Structure 1
Amino acid sequence: MAGVITASEPSWIGPFTGLSPRQFNKLIIALRREGADPVRKGRPWSLPLQDRVLLVAAYWRTNLTLRQLAPLFGISKSAADRIVDHLGPALALQPRRRFRKDTVLIVDGTLVPTRDRAVAVSSKNYRCSTNHQVVIDADIRLVVAVGRPLPGNRNDCRAGQDSGAKAAVGTIPTVIADGGYRGTGLTIPHYRRYKDEELPSWKEEHNASHRKVRARVEHTFARMKTWKILRDCRLRGDGVHHAILGVARLYNLTLTG
């Protein structure tokens, strides 16, 4: 059965990946170079690599069930499931290893509603969620690292270290965070030591500047969560981790071209 959606028709690429056809082709070339399309023994894939990548992106973008999505590509639900399991990790963002000496990073946590109770717990958003620590470059706004998912009730100050996000930034001297990261050595806003304390004007000015810069990570979250898989993730095990890493990679590609 022929599918309705195919990467050979460029009009499908933008709505489901956020990429231009040129950016999408660069992604396919990079995936082949990384070994994402090896020659398999036995039965070959039912779709070419371009269509498989488009299927995974469409799954993350729309959060349709695979039973709904598979017929649009002309394949079975089980074949679509195998494609997502295989390509999800291959599309994952690799953390940046090198930074300029003057690099400024921003770290913050975001909650992703996740149905797998083995990795998610009831959180402050009143849903079972996972906590994801995301690090971006403050200047170019690219995601440079995403920590391992932790239960959604974990405090950011602890999650930053337990998730591996702190190790990912290494010895970068300037890492900006919000007030939830007290005692971590990161650059956080000035705060009142006791209830009735008044902050001097210079501290208020510093806090205003801090908020303007730190807002960039909130803008990143807003754009990443246009991918509906990050609003209600049905994937099990490492699926939510692969999904947010894949979305981060596609988000970066939309910024860099």
Structure 2
Amino acid sequence: MAPYPSTLDVPHELVEHVSWLIYARRCEQGTRWRKLNCFRQALLALAHLRKNDTLAQLGAGFGISEATAWRYVDETVDVLAAWAPGLREALAGRGEDNFVILDGTLIPTDRIAADEPYYSQKHKKHGMNVQVIAAPDGTPLWFSRALPGRTHDLTAARAHGVIESCPTRQILVLADRAYQGAGATVRTPYYRHHELPERYQQYNRDHARLRAPGERAFAQLKTWRLLRRARCSTNRIGRIIAAVHTLLTCEYRGWKRLSDS
């Protein structure tokens, strides 16, 4: 393979931030020497997540073997995933005066037709079901672990404890029709709205307007091209999503080191 100059479309501050987290992990483990320094390892991992280049291509570009590139990326994903907020942390401080947006998406994967649990009838492709809780402005507060693609959104939300946690905290949840019947604090649109009185149609329009920013959370998630079509094991997708969520959180916090917060 022939290497060529390229640019990674992420801020330099983000690479530095990730390199500090890697440095802290190396100090914790007592690592003495690595083929790549912390900054180069961070750059390698971010390039893999952002551009979805294969590890063989990245290894050749960074002058390391494919196996070493895999270990570096896997270690970096673990470091970042450890900082992703849990459901309880995401809902902390939100009560009766707040609302959140609940939605689900499919992370496409390379799968064969025999992998029936991963095939989504809704999307007509193989993948993994991921749930998100977003703030009213679309800022992602929490991403779930990944479940097989054929899992219904409401089933997934119940499995992750979302439906149980939000009513307990009296948090109003706006969701689409897939979550109908979820619970008292979950608001979904009315069916057959064209046949309903005007006040119900207006409710559906207002509901859609308030819920629309939730799509931004998945749009931001999938700017990391690895999640547009994952070639890795389905067991790793949940950790990768948590790692990307940490990277998104870093941007919202203005690159402040998570260890200082």
Task: State the TM-score bracket (shorter-chain normalisation).
Answer: 0.7 to 0.9
The CA distance in 2 between the partners of 1:24 and 1:119, in whole Å, is: 39
Amino acid at match of 2:110: R
% identical equivalent positions: 31
Unaligned residue ranges in structure 1 (runs of 5+): 6-10
The CA distance in 2 between the partners of 1:105 and 1:168, in whole Å, is: 12
The CA distance in 2 between the partners of 1:66 and 1:78, in whole Å, is: 8
**C-alpha displacement at 1:225, in angstroms?**
1.3
Please tell me whether the aligned partners of residues 134 and 143 of structure 1 are also in contact (alpha carbons under 8 angstroms): yes
Please tell me whether the aligned partners of residues 105 and 176 of structure 1 are also in contact (alpha carbons under 8 angstroms): yes
User: Is 1:74 aligned to 2:72, yes or no?
Assistant: no
User: Is 1:109 aligned to 2:104, yes or no?
Assistant: yes
Unaligned residue ranges in structure 2 (runs of 5+): 255-261
User: Is 1:231 aligned to 2:231, yes or no?
Assistant: no
Please tell me whether the aligned partners of residues 132 and 148 of structure 1 are also in contact (alpha carbons under 8 angstroms): yes
- Specify the alignment match of 1:131 in structure 2: 129
SS in 1 for 2:25: coil
SS in 2 for 1:37: helix
Equivalent in 12, 25, 34 of residue 16 of structure 2: 25
**C-alpha displacement at 1:72, in angstroms?**
1.6
TM score, norm. by length of structure 2: 0.80
- Specify the alignment match of 1:147 in structure 2: 144
**C-alpha displacement at 1:229, in angstroms?**
1.0
- Specify the alignment match of 1:189 in structure 2: 189
Change (3 A) 1:23 1:234: closer
Change (3 A) 1:99 1:183: same
Aligned length: 240
The CA distance in 1 between the partners of 2:131 and 2:216, in whole Å, is: 15
**C-alpha displacement at 1:77, in angstroms?**
0.8
Amino acid at match of 2:251: T
- Specify the alignment match of 1:8 in structure 2: none
Greater helix share, structure number: 2
Render the CA deviation track for 1:183-237: whole Å, top value 9, x for unaligned: 1121111234xxx982222221121111112111212212321221111111114
Equivalent in 66, 72, 93 of residue 99 of structure 1: 93
Quote the RMSD (CA, aligned, Å). 2.9
